Chain A
Amino acid sequence: MIELKDVSYSYGGGELFSQLSLQLAPCSFQFLTGPSGAGKTTLLKLCYGDLRATSGTVTLFGQDARGIDRDGVALARRRIGVVHQDCQFLDHLPLSENVALPLTVAGRQSEAAGNLPDLLNWVGLSAQAEQLPPQLSGGERQRAALARAVIMSPDVVLADEPTGNIDWEMSQRLLRLLIELNRMGKAVLVATHDLNLIRAAKAQVQSRVLRLRGGRLQVAGADL
């Protein structure tokens, strides 16, 4: 569905990474780890078309990203659910409308009436539906971001440090939700440097751990 082949990315005169290849296939569950500044977020942005590779090929759902215009990128993003560490909500809208936002922008808001209550119940936020994002705790915001990421039933879920601001119990809850999504056939890529989260996941799901270090992407070994 999403494939990066021999991709390099440079900015400010320096090369962040080079000759990097990655494939997000259906039902795959992958972790992306590495030190801060290694380029994990940049790699995720390449996967959802927010950045363009300096060289190499990024393929989004069978189309070369270089040949996709901004409208095409927008349409591709409707098939990709993204969860950020800082969640990125519209603070003036209640949680329910934030979660339904992908349907709204796609002109499918009528579907929200059927899906939204179930989805909010799934992430345990039914009681907070009418609260504004600043009124929510870190864990609630992360779960809300996950609900928003999946409301369009995307093919791919990308999570960038989704457990960075929440406690261990909440991390586990979020992980279980991601595993459930994976079992539904979604490709999941989680960028994190929380090794405990990765170990917990490996006990529950067949997953691959990729380490981005020194501008290279490697499959992590038994140390994890």
Chain B
Amino acid sequence: MILSLLAGDPQADKAVPPTGFTARLTLFTAGAMAFLAVFALALSTTTGRLAARWGEELARTSTLRISAPAGQVQLQTQAALRVLEETPGVADARALTADEQRQLLEPWFGPDLPVESLPVPQLIEIVEEGEGYDPAGLRARLSAEVPGAVLDDHAAWREPLVAAAGRLRLIGALSVALIFASMAAMITLAAQAALAANAQVIRVLRLVGARDVYIARAFVRRFTLRALTGAGAGTVAGLAAVLLLPRRDVAGGFLSGLGFEGAGWLWPVLIPPLAGIVAFFATRAAALRSLREQA
């Protein structure tokens, strides 16, 4: 239906005079909304990707803390490393050195902290492989063999990140939906203005036997093509702006990584046809409603 509409009927199109104001309004609206949609998509995919990566990185590692009397720490650490070596799903386990533990505490206590003389627990970094280990089983074994061991599988970190990622994706999708709804509303208003401005043309067309669908088609085709053109230009501008943003490896940080990766670049390509579909249905509904009211 949309393809046959785009092919058009040149004779029918000529029946409705070009309307400069509504044409410019539709082009501008579609362009601006497509530009915003590119950024909403970029934000959505970037945050989703970032949160997924954080979640994955945290999920691949975990920490074992040994809190024991000074004389027991070394023994319990050795026992814990033996248990971990035998645990399926654990690729590597190693005790952090005093320097590494000092670096971890440096943000809070400053440099030159005498870690060796303080009752700081010994930390063991666990790197997982495959499907990972069974945390419940590992905890049960550690409680029997290493009484001072506390396993942190990062679930407490991971869950809020996964939830945040889901919310960010939802907000991104909602933003895109709102952008297209706004586009539909603006195009509807522009179409209604065009129909009102062409009331005399519509009267003449009806007088000579034109059906509503014939009159509507002339308006719908114009607005669909304008929305496609405007959204195409807005998408290109949006993609150019995304490409011009500082790269993550140059500036670092979260916002400098805004953009698309791999197949993600295909998402913005969908914006112009989607804008055309939105314009098609918005104008068609507005035109048929206006024609009913003018009857």
Contact = CB atoms under 8 A, between A and B. Distances in A.
Given A77-B206, A90-B201, A90-B204, A104 B15 contact: yes
A74 B212 CA distance: 8
Contacts of B204: 88-90, 101
Contacts of A90: 15, 17, 201, 204
Contacts of B212: 70-71, 74
B210 A105 contact: yes
A72 B170 CA distance: 48
Interface string A55-85: 0000000000000001100110110001010
Contacts of A155: none
B208 A101 contact: yes
Most buried by A among B203, B211, B292: B211
A78 B209 contact: yes
A40 to B, nearest CB: 17
Contact of A74 (B11, B12, B203, B206): B206
Interface string B276-295: 00000000000000011001
A92 interface: yes
A74 B214 CA distance: 11
A63 B149 CA distance: 93
A104 B209 contact: no
Contacts of B292: 70
A191 to B, nearest CB: 15
B3 interface: no
A70 B289 CA distance: 13
A70 B12 contact: no
B205 interface: yes
B20 to A, nearest CB: 13
Contacts of B208: 77-78, 101-102, 105, 148
A104 B13 CA distance: 11
Given A89-B204, A90-B201, A105-B214, A152 B14 contact: no
Nearest to B215: A105
Interface string B3-27: 0000000011011010000000000
Given A71-B213, A82-B207, A89-B204, 16 more contacts: A50-B206, A71-B212, A74-B206, A75-B211, A88-B203, A88-B204, A90-B15, A90-B201, A92-B17, A97-B14, A101-B15, A105-B205, A105-B208, A105-B210, A105-B211, A106-B209
Interface of A: 50, 70-71, 74-75, 77-78, 82, 84, 88-90, 92-93, 97, 101-102, 104-106, 109, 148, 152
18 contacts: A71-B211, A74-B209, A74-B210, A74-B211, A77-B207, A88-B200, A89-B204, A90-B15, A90-B17, A92-B17, A93-B15, A97-B14, A104-B11, A104-B12, A104-B15, A105-B211, A148-B208, A152-B209
